[in-house]
Every structure is written in structure tokens, then in C-alpha cells.
A and B are shown apart, each in its own frame.
Chain A
Amino acid sequence: MAILSKDDAQQILKKVIGYSKADGIEANLNGSDAGNIRYARNSVSTSGEDSNVSLGVQSYFGKKSGTATINEFDDASLEKVVRRSEELAQLAPENPEFMEPLAQQTYQESKTYFDSTAKITPEYRAQAAANSINPAVAKDITAAGYLTDNRGFNAMMNSKGLFAYNRATSVDFTVTMRTNDGTGSGWVTRSFNDVSKLDTAEASKIAIDKALQSRNAKAIEPGKYTVILEPAAAGDLIGLMFFGMNARQADEGRSFMSKKGGGTKLGEKIVDERVNIYTDPWNEHVPASGWGNNGLARKKMDIIKNGVVTNLFYDRYWASQKNVEPVPFPGNRIMQGGNASLEDMIKDTKRGVLVTRFWYIRPVDPQTLLYTGLTRDGTFFIENGKIKHPIKNFRFNESPIIMLNNLETLGKQVRVGNGEGFGAPSLIPYLKVRDFTFTSLSDAV
């Protein structure tokens, strides 16, 4: 039941819309089959599967709307959920910001679904964990990892004739490898729509090597350093920047995108001119659904072009107030990279720090988009073009805006998963940045 075909989803939604007695109705039908396996101390700790289909119905009378959800799909249940949403709408206070549903949109299909991932079995997950644990044991290392896979669909229909459907698969893998003497730790992340691209043994080897190389780290003074950020680290900070690019907050004067004296920085250069960030639902490495909230069609769109802000995100209400087209929050983000390999970037660095990942990133000042957090699981000192030795972890206080102004080199792009920031896959290059601000040392391994 969990994965409905386009036809089956359409059939159920048509029935739902047909039961409506309200001024209008919008229905969302979503389902997923998810599986996971978790291991720690070189042994599987939990594993499970979860299947869920849910129908959400929103009815409205004028500017009063009500929402009800249900997970039963016989005709009586479908009618019941529509009636309940209508009752709730009648009771609701008027919402002056309510927007009527969209008319039919044109969507371009996106290849987000792969049979390989849809067919993952518990045996596959157990083997994937074993392929990660066994090489760890052989090197006197303790593995703790998590693999989660999902196949799901989203469908929606409204009384204005809009119908949208998309199905997608995903697999995300992370593992932390710790040396048994407690002095070294390495980590790796992988994210794909197509599981045939995932090799947990290959990924685990990288984390094991990092754990071994990061043993007995030395302390160096905090301060401003040239850093090479691996894509997982860079992606976290860039992803957080996206959450601050809401047009309404910028217009209201409470965003780093707001300008002194009023107005926003839309159309202004805010970072190095080599920075190009965009969204493209049809990118083969990070495909995303061709539609977003409320059925709004997504498109390929620049967000920062040659360092200039080209788009802020407008919900439908705010767009109507500002007489602009709505701009949906992107389903993926892509930062244009360069040709430099990690090795090239290290070779060209006289004195710097290589960062595997960041951890516990939290906002400090929304005015400047300042964030704090720490390095984790593999931080190394670079001197005269070579990795010299592992170093103790640092706490940073830095803004992605300052970071992207201090850009030195763009490296090759890699797909990264959710991380700490964005909640959707991204294609992010290795970044070399000068004057990155580390403010204190941490003894954590």
C-alpha cells in the first residue's frame, strides 16, 4: 500500500475532491516505506522498517480553513476526513493571509526514483553494516554507523484542477570510526537516490584511515587560518544560509538580507564573484521533485550569480503582497565547483587546516548570520603543501557570508546529504577559504 502509482493516487484524490461541499479543497496523499540499521560497538544495535501512508485534507470557506488527516482509505473514511476538515474550517478564525489553491501547473518530471533502492532488503542492510564493521575490527577500531533508506511518493490535488505526483528513493549512510585507544576518530557520509552507487566498505575505509591518521592530535593556537573544508563541512554552512534567504523577513528588516535604511540586498553583490549557487531539480546527481509546497512548480534558478543575490524565497502570500511571482524553497542546492582536487588544494597551501566536518552548529547572530560549532572526526594541520599532523578540534565562530567573501579556491563537487543544515541533498565543492575564525580548542576526540 505504501507506494501508490500515479493512477492509483489520482483515483483516490479524485474521490476526495468529489466529496467536498466547501468553497474549495486541497488534498495531499503521501506514503513511504523506510528501513534502517544502526550499529555501535561493532555490533548491530537496532534495525527496523516503517511503512506509512497518510491523507491530509484542507477545506476552506472564504478565508477560514481546516485540516484533517487520516490513514484509512475506504470510501467512508475518505468522506469522513473531508467532513471533518470542513467542520474544522467552519470553526477556525479567519486568516487574512489565506491563499486559495493554485490552478493546474506544468511540471517537468524528475528522475528521483530508482528500483535498486526501492528493492533494499533487511539482508542488504545487514550486509552493508557487516561490510563496515568487519574492516574496522581488523584494524582495532570500533565502528558506529547508521544506514537509512526510503522509497516514497507525494501526490496532491485541489478543486482548481491541479494534480501533482512524484515518487522518490533515497539512501543515506554515515559511519564514525574510533580507534580503541580513544585518541583517533574518523567519519564519512554518503547520500544517493540510487543505492547501486553506495559501497559501505569503500566509504568505511576512508573513515578508518582518518581515525588512524587522527591519533594523538597536537594542539595549535586558535585564530584565523586558511582552511580547506570538505564538502560536508562547507555544505552545512551554505545550507544554513538558505534558511536566512526568506523574502518576507528581509523586507521586514529582520534578516542578514535586510539593508540599512530599508529594502533588501536582492541584486547586490554579497560574496566573492566566483560564487555561483543555484537550484536545478533535474540535475542528475541531486534530482529533486519538480514541485514543492502547494503544488508550486519548481524551476532551475540562480540564487547567487557571480556573487550577486538573484533570488529570495517568496511564499504565495508574500509574493501577492509584493506583486512578484512566488519563489518556492528549493528542493536541492548546487554550488558550482572548480577543477582542483583535494590533493591539489593541499599542495597549494602554505599553512592551513583541513576540516572533515562540523558539529553542533548553532546560530549566534542572525544580523550577520554568525554561527558557532566545532570541527570533528579528522582535523589536520597543513604546512608547505603537505598534511603535517592531526590537530585537536577547534570551535569556530564564522558567518557563511564572510567565508564566501574569503574564497581562495573552488574544488571538485561532491553530493552531500542532510548534514546539520539543509534537509535536502546538495552538490558542494571542496572549498579553500582564508581567515576562517577558530576561537577556542576542544579536547574532544
Chain B
Amino acid sequence: MKRRNFVQLAGMGITGSLLSFPSIGNAVSSEILLESPLLASQKKQLADVALNITKGLGATYTDVRIGRYLNQFISTRENKVQNIVNTESFGVGIRVIVKGAWGFAATNEVTADGVKKAAEKAVAIAKANSKFQKEPVMLAPAAGQGEVSWKTPIQKNAFEVPVSEKVDLLLRANGAALKNGASFASSNLFQVNEQKYFASSDGSYIDQDVHRIWPTFSVSVIDRASGKFKSREAMSAPMGMGYEYMIPKAEDKLTGPSGMVLYKNSYDIIEDAAIAARQGKEMIAAKSVEPGKYDLVLEPNHLGLTIHESIGHPLELDRILGYEANYAGTSFVTLEKLKSGNFNYGSKQVTIFADKTQPGSLGAVGYDDEGVKCKRWDLIKDGVLVNLEAIRDQVHMLGQTESHGCCYAQSWSEVQFQRMPNVSLAPGKETYSSAQMIKDVEKGIYIAGRGSYSIDQQRYNFQFGGTAFYEIKNGQITGILNDVAYQSNTQEFWNSCVKVCDESEYRMFGSFFDGKGQPSQVSAVSHGSSPARFNGVSVINTGRTI
């Protein structure tokens, strides 16, 4: 994930560098974020200009993406607003197949003339590339969808909420943390709206309005005497939702160990910030973990990142084929392992599905960025690998005739390619709660929230930390632990999964910043699960003295 760039942007003061803005879009006033986009009929006219021109120039396939990408970032620290940034990016990207080769060109001149020039350039690039193409592009068929639209089912558009109201909420969260003993507190709210129009020579004209939101904070507690400091991050998740996520609802709260509260489809940032400060103080005095083998109880906002790194990525077909070998790497998963029909990725408790339709998830859209209607499909069924993640120009290598619908571009100006769909662990079928799961563990650790994460380039060996760690002894939580990280091997780890809680505790983890490709593009993705137990996992102690 490319979190570092984002963190630099988020931490940028008002006096910070302006250099980062153009990559996201132009900085604009918040009123512009509410301006109506072009009508679908106007976008169709422009798309038809491109479709007609490329057809006349010999293209056998064309798609046109007219995109308006809006962002608002608000960052605060203690009782201060550090930054409010609004950005807008508007343009069109045209992708063609000519003589069996891809060509792509983009422009921010969204006029008939601009579209015409970009269409001609895309065709010229495809023709140049065709000279070196070893095998012509084979595109899996995708039915024309006609004129359709899709919108994230939001209840309250975050851009319509006054900035002052959002700032006030963040400052109150910081205040709650400081009141409960935090030394420092910073909080951020990120809001995204992708207004995407897709048209293709298959006969699709798809208008989509996609919304995402992410509230987050970092609370630090410092003990000057001992020189120790601890940070506790928010237990929120980025979601494919509107501002309704920021309005806490009792039915979305779950009780965790030692007064921790975990959140489903709405978030109480003020409550969580107060808990974070109290937890941070406990961490200062907590004991350091004894390294060894433990049974781990992993809650969804932690387990999501483990799913992302150890299942989501290794099952990407383009990685397996070697297209990412110089950057993100390849995969331990091979086509042979898939075809064998008996590769035990995990235990029988492990059923993993991909789903681009899950409400509230970051990856949810009606249609992907090459016009394929989104769906749900199984990747691992009762522990056995059954499918991968593939798009139109590669799915034939699996002997399949239909794209999985997981193609995405981060902007109109970049070419779309295969990206990870939401990949989730199916909840257990028997009634079983996390409280019961903890009771059944003799020597274990309960881990909540995301922390440090690192995995090798073929996705065998990983090490993960977390936000908060609780020791479990003879079925009881005995207190907070410090310096915990677990190391394992993907197949061994998923085969050590002995139990998954039922769907009543199913929740989503998410990330705005899954990075892939050169030049790198980011994509937003969610991973759902219920709490799950993994037996005999190797835990190391990360404490050091310098």
C-alpha cells in the first residue's frame, strides 16, 4: 500500500508544499464539489464521438471513461485545524484495440475536439505497439449494458455537510482524547466522490456515482519520566458510504475486551478517541510479551489486512503471470495449484469470497472500469483454492469465458488494469461469539486493529502487528500486552484457522491505498470477516533498547 504518500499529504500544514496537489486534482472551493456534473446525455454524445472515430480508424474495441473525481480532506491537531483541501479532477481516457494491441490516451479537454484528438492518439499508440505484440489481445466477451446508472446507496452526501460541522466533530474527538489523558491527538476526515461515465463499443453507456468516506485519528500518550510513548489509532474503517457512517447507532456497536468498542456500519469517533486515550495510558504500563506459540483471536479490523496481503494479492492473475515481477512481485500460487483442484490454502473453516457488490464496501460498484457487471464469486471453498481474480484480457488463461469484473483505474488519466476486488472471509455457520471464542482459549492473544504489516514478494512469509493486544489466559482477558508481532507462512497460517465466529460479528476492514503497477496506481478495497481463531502461531517480541 502507498500509505506513505498519503500520510505526507495528510500531515501537510496549510503552509506546506503545493507540489502534491496536481496528482490528485486542482484545489477548488467546497461549493464546486456540489456542482452538477455533465448530464449523462452530454457524456454519451462525447463518448460517441470517440467510438465513431476509433471505429473509422480500425479499432476492433474502444472504451471511453469520462471521469470527475472529487476529494475533500480535513486534518486537525488538538484544538487546531491544520488543513482543509478540496480537489477536483475532470477528464477523459480512451482505450482501444487496434491490430490486436492496446493503445490508451487521455486528456483534460472534455470537448468534442479534445476527445477526437485523444481518440486518434490512442489509435496511433495501439498501432505502434502492435508491431511488437507477440500475441493479439484476447478480450472475453462482455454483454452491452445499454444506458444504465448506479450509485453508492448513501443516505447523506458528505460533501453536502457543512465543513464547520465536520471540523467541529474532529475537534471534539481530539478534545475527548486529551480529556482522557492523551498527550496529543490528531484526526482526519477524507471524503471521495468518483463520478464515472463509461461507454464502450460493446454497446454500454454506464453512469456511476461512487462515494467513500474515512474518519481516522491518532492518539499519543507520552510518559516523560520513562521516555516511553504509545500511539493508538482509530478503530474506524474507510467505507463505501456517505456521512451516515459518522452518525453513531447503538446497533452498530460491539463490545470488545476491557471496555473496547468495535464498530460495524456507523462510527462513534468521540467515544473511540476517549477509549483510545485510556488504552494508550494502559499501554505505557503494560508488560512486554513473552515470545512463543500462541492461539490468536483476530478481530475483523485487524484480520482484514492479513486477508488482503496473504490472500487478496497472491490470487491476482496478472501477478501470477509475472506482470508485476519488478515491483509488487509474483505469487506462490500457480495455475497448476488452481487446476489441481486440491490445493489446501486453508483449513475447512476457511471460505473466502470476492464480492464487488457488497453494500458499504470500498470496492462496491455496479460495473467495473471495463463495463463488466459486478458480482460475487468464491476464491477458496472449504479451504480449497477454486478461483482467482481476473479481467477481460486475461481470464481466458484460466479457461474461463467471463471477466470477474475487477478492473479499475485510479483516474481518467490512467489506464485501467486488474485490481483486487473486496476479498472476505465467510462467517462461521454455527452460532459462536468472540466472547465464547476467548473463553475457549487457554494461552492466547486477542489482536485488534491494523498495525505494522510486511510480506514477501511471493506472499509466503509475513509479519503483522496490530493496534491493541490483549493477553488471554485460561479463557480470560488478563490485560494489555506490548511488543507483539506474529510471523507465519500463508498456507500454514490459514490451515491453523480452527474457528470463525458467526455473522452477527461480521464487519469490514478497508484501505484507500492499495498500490500496484508502475507508475503506481492506488485502489480502495474492503475485507470483511468475523473474528477468527488461529492456533499455535509464532509470536515474537519486538521490544529493543537503543
With known contacts A174-B326, A178-B322, A402–B544 Cβ distance under 8 A: yes
Contacts of B543 in A (CB 8 A): 365, 368
The answer, yes or no, to whether A40 is at the interface (CB within 8 Å) is yes
- Tell me the B170-188 residues at the A interface (CB within 8 Å): 183-184
Inter-chain contact B227/A259, CB cutoff 8 Å: yes
Inter-chain contact B324/A40, CB cutoff 8 Å: yes
The answer, yes or no, to whether A93 is at the interface (CB within 8 Å) is yes
Q: Give which listed residue, B21, B231, B454, contacts A360 with CB less than 8 A.
A: B454
Inter-chain contact A395/B460, CB cutoff 8 Å: no
Report the Cα distance A48→B18, complex, angstroms: 25
Q: How far is the CB of A2 from chain B (nearest CB, A)?
A: 12
Interface of A is mostly: strand
Q: How far is the CB of A5 from chain B (nearest CB, A)?
A: 20
Contacts of B358 in A (CB 8 A): none
B463 to chain A: closest residue by CB: A372
Interface size class of B (residues with CB under 8 A): 35 or more
Inter-chain contact A146/B542, CB cutoff 8 Å: no
- Tell me the B481-520 residues at the A interface (CB within 8 Å): 483, 485, 487, 489, 518-519
Q: How far is the CB of A24 from chain B (nearest CB, A)?
A: 12
- Tell me the B210-259 residues at the A interface (CB within 8 Å): 220, 222, 224-229, 231
- Tell me the B504-542 residues at the A interface (CB within 8 Å): 518-519, 538, 540, 542
A316 to chain B: closest residue by CB: B15
Inter-chain contact A399/B544, CB cutoff 8 Å: yes
B541 to chain A: closest residue by CB: A397
The answer, yes or no, to whether B49 is at the interface (CB within 8 Å) is no
Contacts of B16 in A (CB 8 A): 293
- Tell me the B1-54 residues at the A interface (CB within 8 Å): 13-19, 21-22, 26-29
The answer, yes or no, to whether B82 is at the interface (CB within 8 Å) is yes
With known contacts A144-B322, A146-B327, A46–B15 Cβ distance under 8 A: no
Inter-chain contact A146/B456, CB cutoff 8 Å: no
Contacts of B167 in A (CB 8 A): 93
**What are the interface flags for B299-343 relative to A under an 8 Å C-beta threshold, 1 for contact and 0 otherwise?**
000000000000000000000011111110110100000000000
Q: How far is the CB of A130 from chain B (nearest CB, A)?
A: 9
Report the Cα distance A178→B458, complex, angstroms: 13
Q: How far is the CB of A119 from chain B (nearest CB, A)?
A: 20
With known contacts A262-B224, A368-B546, A445-B458, A253–B183 Cβ distance under 8 A: yes
The answer, yes or no, to whether B431 is at the interface (CB within 8 Å) is no
**What are the interface flags for A174-210 relative to B under an 8 Å C-beta threshold, 1 for contact and 0 otherwise?**
1110100000000100000000000000000000000
Which B residues are closer than 8 A to A by beta carbons?
13-19, 21-22, 26-29, 80-82, 84-85, 104, 108, 129, 132, 134, 167, 183-184, 220, 222, 224-229, 231, 321-327, 329-330, 332, 413, 415, 452-461, 463, 465, 483, 485, 487, 489, 518-519, 538, 540, 542-546
Which A residues are closer than 8 A to B by beta carbons?
28, 30, 36, 38, 40-41, 43-48, 50, 52, 54, 56, 58, 65, 67-71, 84, 87-88, 91-93, 95-99, 142, 144-146, 148, 154, 174-176, 178, 187, 252-254, 256, 258-262, 270, 293-294, 315-317, 359-370, 372-374, 376, 393, 395, 397, 399, 401-402, 439-445
